[in-house]
Amino acid sequence: MQIFIDSADVKELKALAETGLVDGVTTNPSLIAKSGGDFFETLRAICDAVSGPVSAEVVAQDAETMIAEGKKLRGVAPNIVVKLPLTPEGLLACKALTDEGHPTNVTLCFSAVQALLAAKAGATFISPFLGRLDDGGQDGMQLIREIRAIYDNYGYETNILAASIRTGAHVRDAALAGADCATIPPAVFRALYKHNLTDAGLAAFLKDWKATGQSIL
């Protein structure tokens, strides 16, 4: 499963990209606003830091303007993916941009039939929001399983990009459910490394090694 980072903090993204474990980035208008920087300068810096797909979202509500915004975003860097809302106008824009060879990410997906429509519109990625469904008392991971089954039934090539990830358990369960990618906050990414038994085992190994009085170098 590919791991994307959901952030517009350029400094943090550069540091995480250096691990070699980050496959891409997702942004949205809220994250860009939080970064405090110029929209296009921030996107260029992110695309320079991460070689994989970088989702940048349109803000228009009608298909014609979404398409124009999408083309402008694509001019920022070759790894930009145009992020579009799962609305009738968004899917019209998705189909038009896809037909012209532009990669797309259809976002704010909350049902399997929405994901079916996005795949029929040619979306490169579909972003189901797991955490927000869980917040409402629904099973977000069941949505991933349903989308996986539908896409496999009909051979759709749209990548399932699990979004609104809150915990390491979400990442694990999304991988088990067959998500192609997960986009996660930086703090959740760092937490994936951690386990108390790993820390305890390392401490014991180092204690025993120190007692030998030896050195590898």
**Which residues are designated catalytic?**
83
125 near 105, Cβ under 8 Å?
A: yes
Residues 6+ apart with CB under 8 A from 132: 110, 140, 164
Burial 98-110 (b: 16+ CB within 10 A, else e): beeebbbbbbbbb
Copy the structure tokens of residue 71: 């083309």
Copy the structure tokens of residue 193: 């490394």
| 3-state secondary structure at position 11 | helix
